[in-house]
């Protein structure tokens, strides 16, 4: 499979709450053209007795010619049930997982908490790596809070002290929202970004800056995609936390735009 474009299924979370919803949604995703997904917030796979196991999810994905290239998982569960998580990802045929933010005991402690996470996560990341699974951290805007002298950002701690096993799942929208130039960020992260989250930022008369499909907003995607290529990014995962129109139409628009930019 030569595809580079994936769909972050969080975007379609309202359409995956049951097993049949999940099946129907995968079929629609396939017809749009997606051949890869990141599994996140799939209700049918959540809970102590999920309607869809990892093994069945793999089968359902295979039926649509779709590959699971990434997941989002809960950090506490990754840390406390690492063997289960390894088996879960092996069943999916997936070799990358990420978390969508730090647990409060780390995130609310500022720089000290970020440094503590770097130290305490290392054994878990090592176990995942030994099993062939890489780990990433997904940013929002708050990780770019500055502190101290010189004025570092909190994310700088992960970049400079985390080591290569702590990769960054860069969300381009949130970096731009925080006032960061994403091209400069990717220059610093060569070899450290496996997958990005791609969503755009438009300005509306009523609500001001909001999320929108890739290519419909003001982010300079030509520059961003060039920087991603130079940084060695493998996957471009379309994600839109909130959609102002039909989510399936939004992910179709993003897919069409990324294809127009030369991504396969």
What pLDDT score does 171 carry? Answer: 98
Range of the domain at 166: 5-260
Confidence of residue 3 (pLDDT cuts 50, 70, 90): confident
Confidence of residue 97 (pLDDT cuts 50, 70, 90): very high
Residue 59 confidence (pLDDT) above 90: yes
Pairing of strands 152-153, 96-99: unpaired
Please give the Cα distance from 15 to 32 (Å, whole number).
15
Mean predicted confidence (pLDDT) in 90-108: 97
Please give the Cα distance from 153 to 45 (Å, whole number).
35
- The per-residue pLDDT of the chain, averaged, comes to 97
DSSP-assigned letters across all residues of 148-198: TTTTEEHHHHHHHHS-TTEEEE-BHHHHHHTT--HHHHHHHTTTS-SEEEE
Residue 164 confidence (pLDDT) above 70: yes
Residue 179 confidence (pLDDT) above 90: yes
The token pair at 258 is 């990324």
pLDDT per residue as tens digits for the range 227-260: 999 999 999 999 999 999 999 999 999 999 999 9
Residue 126 confidence (pLDDT) above 60: yes
pLDDT per residue as tens digits for the range 182-223: 999 999 999 999 999 999 999 999 999 999 999 999 999 999
Please give the Cα distance from 57 to 61 (Å, whole number).
6
Torsions phi, psi for 48 (to 5 deg) = -70, -30
Confidence of residue 1 (pLDDT cuts 50, 70, 90): very low
- What is the share, in percent, of the chain residues with pLDDT greater than 70? 99
User: For the domain that residue 121 is a member of, what is the CATH number?
Assistant: 3.20.20.150
SS3 assignment, position 147: strand
pLDDT per residue as tens digits for the range 4-39: 999 999 999 999 999 999 999 999 999 999 999 999
Question: Considering its fold, how many domains does the chain have in total?
Answer: 1
Task: Find all residues with CB under 8 Å of 116, minimum gap 6, and list them.
Answer: 106, 109
What pLDDT score does 256 carry? Answer: 98
Look-up of token digits 């949130």: 174
What pLDDT score does 132 carry? Answer: 98
What pLDDT score does 220 carry? Answer: 98
DSSP-assigned letters across all residues of 93-141: T--EEEESS--HHHHTTHHHHHHHHHHHHHHHHHHHHHTT-EEEEE--S
Mean predicted confidence (pLDDT) in 77-87: 98
Please give the Cα distance from 21 to 3 (Å, whole number).
25
């Amino acid at each position: 499979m030569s595809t580079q474009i994936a769909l972050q299924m969080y975007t379609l979370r309202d359409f995956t709450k049951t097993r049949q919803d999940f099946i129907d949604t995968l079929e629609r995703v396939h017809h749009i053209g997606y051949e890869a997904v990141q599994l996140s917030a799939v209700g049918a796979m959540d809970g102590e007795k999920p309607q869809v196991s990892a093994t069945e999810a793999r089968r359902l994905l295979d039926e649509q010619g779709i590959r699971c290239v990434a997941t989002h998982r809960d950090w506490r569960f990754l840390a406390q049930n690492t063997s289960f998580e390894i088996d879960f990802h092996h069943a999916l045929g997936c070799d990358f997982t990420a978390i969508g933010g730090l647990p409060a005991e780390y995130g609310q402690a500022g720089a000290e908490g970020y440094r503590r996470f770097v130290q305490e996560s290392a054994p878990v990341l090592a176990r995942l790596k030994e099993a062939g699974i890489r780990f990433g951290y997904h940013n929002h805007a708050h990780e770019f809070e500055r502190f101290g002298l010189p004025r570092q950002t909190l994310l700088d701690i992960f970049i400079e002290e985390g080591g290569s096993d702590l990769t960054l799942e860069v969300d381009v929208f949130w970096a731009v929202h925080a006032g960061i130039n994403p091209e400069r960020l990717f220059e610093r992260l060569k070899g450290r970004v496996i997958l990005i989250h791609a969503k755009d930022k438009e300005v509306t008369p009523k609500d001001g800056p909001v999320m929108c499909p890739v290519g419909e907003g003001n982010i300079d995607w030509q520059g961003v995609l060039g920087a991603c290529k130079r940084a060695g990014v493998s996957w471009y995962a379309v994600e839109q936390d909130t959609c102002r129109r039909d989510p399936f139409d939004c992910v179709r628009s993003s897919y069409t735009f990324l294809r127009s930019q030369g991504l396969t």
